[in-house]
Structures are given as C-alpha cells and as structure tokens.
Amino acid sequence: MIIAQQKPIKDIAEMIADCKKVLLVGCAGCVTVCLAGGEKETEILAAALRIMRRLQDNPLETVTYVATRQCDPEYIATMDNLVKDVDAIISLACGVGVQYIAERYHDKWVVPALDTKFIGGSKVHGVWEEKCGLCGDCVLHRTGGICPIIRCSKSILNGPCGGSQYGKCEISKDVDCAWQLIYDRMKALGRLDKLMEIQPPKDWSKSRDGGPRKAIREDVMIG
Amino acid sequence: MQYVPNIRIVEMPCSGTIDHRVLLQAFEDGADGVFVAGCMEGDCHFQKGNYRARKRVNAVKKLLDEIGLGGERLEMYNLSAAMGPRFAEIANEMTERVRRLGPSPLKKQSAGTMEKEGDVA
Ligand code: SF4
Ligand code: SF4
C-alpha cells in the first residue's frame, strides 16, 4: 500500500488560514490502513483545526467526508454537493487523491494534509517499512524476493558494495544490507548460480526516468 | 467518598475504548480539563486497555500542545474501582491544576465543568 503520514498541523492550518469553511476528505484506501487519512484521522484533524481556530478567535467550519478511494475519479464525483460552499478542500489521501480532487474542482483551493512517503507494508502495528521502488520492471525473481532497488541504499544490481559490513548497510547499523540478505537467501535456496548470470543493464526508462507513466489495459476499457 | 462537585463522569466500558475524538470533543464542548481514569496497570480485564489508553492520552496531550490548548489540561490516572479515596484525591488534584490553568479559552461562558472519561464509576 501507499504509506503516508500527516503533515504538522501548523502547516495544514497555515494552508487554509484565509478560509472560513473547509471540507476534509479522507480516503478509505491505503491511508485508512496506514492510519493517516481514514475516517478517524479525518475527524481528529477537523476537531484539532476547529479548536486551533477558536483559540485564534477566528472560527472554522468543517465538513468531513470519506471517499471510498480518492484515486478513482468516480468516487470523487460523489462529493460534488459537499464542495459547493466551502473555501478549501483538505485531502487526507496520498498525492494521487489530492490531484484528482484538484482536477475535478478547478476553482477550489485544494491542499494536502499528508506527506506521501513510500510503497510498503506494516511490519508490526504502527511500524511501516518501504518495500518497493516502483521500478516498472520487477527483478525479485532474480534476487530471492528481496528488492535491491529500494532496500539497497544505492539501488545497485550487483551488490553488495564495499560498504556492507556484518550484514548491515554502511548508511546505518540499523539498516540491513539488502545484498547480504539476497546472497543469504539465494544460498539457502541453493540458487547462488542465478546470481552469477550476466544481466543486461536495467532499463530505467520503465521507471521514472522515462517520464510520467501510464498503464493501459485495452480489454477492460469501456466504450 | 467526597470530591469536588464540578466533575462530570462519562463512563466507558474500558479505558481502552478511549478515542482521540472523544477527548477532543470534551474540550470542544467546553471542558476545562479532562482526566481518564483507567484500571491499575496489569489489572485490565481486556489485558492492555489501560496501556493503550495511556498511549492515546499522551498522543492527544501532544496534539493539544501543538494546537495551543495545552496538554496539561488532559491527564491519565490509574486506580481501581475500589479506590474511592484515591479517586477523590485525583479529582481534587486535577481540579487544582485546572484552576491554576484557568478556564478553557474555548469556553464562551465559563460553566466550570471538568470532564472525566474512564471505567471507574
Ligand atoms: S487515493 Fe491513494 S491512499 Fe487512497 S486508495 Fe488510492 S492510492 Fe491508496
Ligand atoms: S524490483 Fe522494482 S518492482 Fe520489484 S520490488 Fe523492487 S522496485 Fe518494486
């Protein structure tokens, strides 16, 4: 899932400083699961902003709504009625949601309540970790199911580098060396020979280097 | 058991059901201070409810500091349902603290209530 975290409340308040009424929109997708922008977080943020503004003698009216997914424009359309009389929309989705809302409501001030951090999972409740760098050409079958792109600090494809020490990455003793993990796993699987295969250079045009990407499935397109 | 009369008790099935929203709402509704009374540590019928309550109370205290209302207006205490005198002591202690802080700036007319959430009746 996409992992996001709420921005400091002072920053969010600043973005809507000149507004009297705002709509806060949560998302029932990833950000609900990573506890950053679901129904609960949306209501907490609304209450905190209201209190802040009352303390400044400049009351703020809030409306809250949670979209099924903000990354699907059809779910954004369900809030048409709610946006009419608000001065701003605060989205508690990832950056995708913020952008779809801004696209639909041209004349509205749309601001992000979250910082979209990475793609990852929850290691334990309350701890999320980055697992995939969205390279567009997955190599996990060659690396024992351990991503060298995002879990190796240098994203190298022929590690480990000289900074790998006692299984840790040179950037911090709290970070595992991904290539040590890859080596250990491949060894345990009896597939070290796979690591010896010569690979062509990675095609980074399939990643962000090729500009913004699109995925198309003509067979499911409507119309 | 005697304690200050300005407290409104809100009963919860377990302090672990405390939610950030309930605490914030108490302040929005004009409470000058809120204290959560959970069971003694290690005595929770639901194992960890009171530990969780404390974590949430701490998170809301931090938020109250950030938004300018002040985390001191919120506190978590642990006591058992059999500790009446201790409850009275805490109620008085919290009332004293709130008096020192003054009425909540969120309150239009000060009605002088303080709210308490918890599982100790
Ligand atoms: S909008 Fe973002 S957070 Fe919400 S479901 Fe889509 S990808 Fe996940
Ligand atoms: S190899 Fe690429 S697609 Fe596969 S997990 Fe790593 S970054 Fe993601």
Q: Which domains does chain A have, with CATH numbers?
A: 2-118 (3.40.50.11860), 133-210 (no CATH)
Q: Which of B67, B73, B104, B107 best probes binding to A when mutated, by most A CB atoms within 10 angstroms? A: B67
pLDDT digits (tens, 9 = 90+) for A144-199: 999 999 999 999 999 999 999 999 999 999 999 999 999 999 999 999 999 999 99
- Strands A127-132 and A114-124: what pairing? antiparallel
Please give the backbone phi and psi of residue A210, each rounded to the nearest 5 degrees, phi first.
-90, 15
Cross-sheet strand order for the sheet of A114-124: A2-6, A114-124, A127-132
pLDDT digits (tens, 9 = 90+) for A51-101: 999 999 999 999 999 999 999 999 999 999 999 999 999 999 999 999 999
pLDDT digits (tens, 9 = 90+) for A98-122: 999 999 999 999 999 999 999 999 9
pLDDT for B110 equals 39
Task: Enter the ipTM.
Answer: 0.89
Q: What percent of chain A stands above pLDDT 90?
A: 98
Please give the backbone phi and psi of residue B117, each rounded to the nearest 5 degrees, phi first.
-115, 140
How remote is the CA of residue A71 from the centroid of ligand 1, in Å?
Answer: 5
Name which of A44, A47, A55 is nearest B68 (Cβ-Cβ).
A55
CA distance A120 to A170: 22
User: Cβ B63–A48 below 8 Å, yes or no?
Assistant: yes
Close Cβ partners of A93 (under 8 Å, ≥ 6 residues apart): A4, A25, A26, A27, A29, A31, A37, A67, A70, A71, A114
Ordered by start, the domain boundaries in chain B are 15-102
Would you call B63 an interface residue with chain A, using a CB distance cutoff of 8 Å? yes
Residue nearest to atom 2 of ligand 1 (CA): A94
Q: What percent of chain A stands above pLDDT 70?
A: 100
pLDDT for B108 equals 65
Of all ligands present, the nearest one to the C-alpha of A134 is 2
Q: Global pTM?
A: 0.92
Would you call B101 an interface residue with chain A, using a CB distance cutoff of 8 Å? no
Distance from the A55 Cα atom to the nearest Cα atom in chain B, whole angstroms: 6
Burial of B3 per CB tally in 10 Å (0-12, 13-18, 19+): middle
pLDDT for B14 equals 93
pLDDT for B4 equals 82
